[in-house]
Amino acid sequence: MKGFLTEWPKNIFGSITFDLMSGKKKVLVAPLNWGLGHATRCIPIIRELISQGVEVILAAEEHPKALLQREYPKLEFIDLSGYDVTYPSSGNMAVHMIKLMPRILNGVKKEGEQLNKAIDDFGIDGVISDNRFGLYSNRVPTVFITHQVMIKSPYAESILQKLNRRFIRKFDHCWIPDFEGTENLSGDLSHKYKLTESARFIGPLSRFSKDEKEPDAYKYDVIAVISGPEPQRTLFQHIVTTELEINNIKALMVLGKASIHQDIQQEKITMKSHLKADELQDAINKSRIVVARSGYSTIMDLATLGKSAILIPTPGQTEQEYLAQYHYERGHYFTVEQDRFDLDEALDQMDRFKGIKSDTNATLLKQAVTEFIQTL
């Protein structure tokens, strides 16, 4: 009999037997592969799941997978193919996405097929999807995480809103990483339209923790966090490097390449391919000014740390352009278009922009996770 049991495939018998013995529930956490922000904001969710005794399995690919593997080397990973989305070197991202809609919908369908297989193979009890539209199921409880309840677009915004809402409603829960009410970080993106019945605000999500102590001395004048999809990521890197060299400023550049190891010293500029969460927080705290994209995860991180910043939206990405303008008008962060970026001029403006301090309110996240676990 013992020999017979060992012949069972591990992913059918072994893992399920282990779960029954351990009593742990298994939750799949899957961030979207559009930049690193979706992966970084999953970190506090992963921490909370683990603290509440859940076994976490991660599904990701490329740079998000590499980032999470460096943070959680002992967790199990599933390769999950993306939507094969290309990014325009110029032009409007929202319009480009409309053109790619058939490809995206096909990717959503494939995600659902991969999820069903993962549920069978790994005995998954629940799913938390960060903006991956295909990871809903009638077999296990599912959560959809988004700050974009509405999608900013110069064209067909109402149509996109209805389509987005239709997909969100396929999930059992919708978690919005922001605060309810007027004092919020996402503006219209999460507060303009009526929410679905399953939606709730869980507070901003940041991999960082608040540090009230100011450093005795700054190590860097500027830290530049390079991120986003190609080809704009590399173009952004070149522009920022040139501005730092022209201004002869002591700076650290974090290149957003979690899958490689690179450490380069160029006179006053230090370049690192990637830093783990605690290392990046320390580097930001020891830098006078942050230069970064205006992605929502970056804004949540900045708000948690209370840092001032120069935000440069990815050209054509309407979400980042909106967020940059939203916080500029409120005096939080200085913003400038990529092709007009002049570091010396931007630094002259920084006295007017002091950043924003926002408590992540871990209680909201803890409550949401606790209630989700109870449904498994």
- What does the pLDDT read at residue 8? 32
Question: Could you give the strand order of the β-sheet that contains 269-272, starting from the edge strand earlier in sequence?
Answer: 263-266, 269-272, 251-254, 220-225, 287-292, 309-311, 334-335
- What does the pLDDT read at residue 59? 95
Report helix, strand or coil for 287: strand
- What does the pLDDT read at residue 76? 95
- What does the pLDDT read at residue 93? 60
Structure token pair of residue 39: 């992966």
- What does the pLDDT read at residue 87? 60
- What does the pLDDT read at residue 90? 59
Q: Which residues of the chain have pLDDT under 50?
A: 1-21
- Calculate the dihedral angle through the C-alpha atoms of 103, 36, 207, 222, rounding to the nearest 10 degrees: -150
220-225 vs 251-254, strand pairing mode: parallel
Interatomic CA distance for residues 360 and 304, integer angstroms: 7
- What does the pLDDT read at residue 1? 38
CB neighbour burial string for 81-116, b if at least 16 within 10 angstroms, e if fewer: ebbebebbeeebbbbbbeebeeebeebbebbeebbe
SS (H, E, C) 42-76: CHHHHHHHHHCCCEEEEEECHHHHHHHHHHCCCCE
Do residues 141 and 372 touch, judged by C-beta distance below 8 A?
Answer: yes
Q: How distant, in Å, are the alpha carbons of 36, 156, 299, 358 from that of 40?
A: 6, 30, 12, 18
- What does the pLDDT read at residue 4? 32
- What does the pLDDT read at residue 13? 36
